[in-house]
A = this chain, B = another copy of it.
């Protein structure tokens, strides 16, 4: 795997992105998982999937675009809700099989209106909700 070459690189050493992109280990559906994190608070907002086209569009526009597995098409985050994600950094892990998107999220990332999708805390034999919506989801997605 090409990206494995960077394991022994010092800070500042690099590979050409075009060559890394050609060799990314997309799964059988042509996708890689992408973790999305709010740049200033460090909050993990969501996890979604990207194909090659969505990665290229995200880098070109600076606005995050995923690939929707349920709709089988590009999903420009915020295209319905208006809650877009401005890309600050795109990172790859040591195996090159996971992306980390550091973003500035406008409003909530979650379709429930909550800032983050990870509002279900597993604790003491329960799954407890510990965050509330910033916005009523009816307002995000219309009536």
A residues within 8 Å of B by Cβ? 3, 6-18, 20, 33, 35, 37, 41-44, 46-47, 59, 89-96, 98, 100, 110-112, 114, 117-123, 125-132
Q: A99 to chain B: closest CB distance in Å?
A: 9
What chain B residues lie within 8 Å of A91 (beta carbons)? 118-122
Copies of chain A in the complex: 2
Cβ B130 vs Cβ A118 within 8 A: no
Q: Is the interface of A mostly helix, strand, loop or mixed?
A: mixed
- Taken together as a complex, chains A and B put the C-alpha atoms of A105 and B110 apart, in Å, by 27
What chain B residues lie within 8 Å of A47 (beta carbons)? 33, 35, 93, 98
Q: Known pairs A11-B132, A42-B43. 15 more at Cβ < 8 A? A: A3-B127, A7-B112, A13-B128, A17-B122, A35-B44, A37-B42, A44-B44, A46-B93, A90-B121, A91-B120, A91-B122, A94-B114, A94-B117, A94-B119, A96-B120
Most interface-central of A10, A42, A44, A46 (chain B CB within 10 A): A44
Cβ A9 vs Cβ B129 within 8 A: yes
Q: A48 to chain B: closest CB distance in Å?
A: 9
Cβ A132 vs Cβ B10 within 8 A: yes
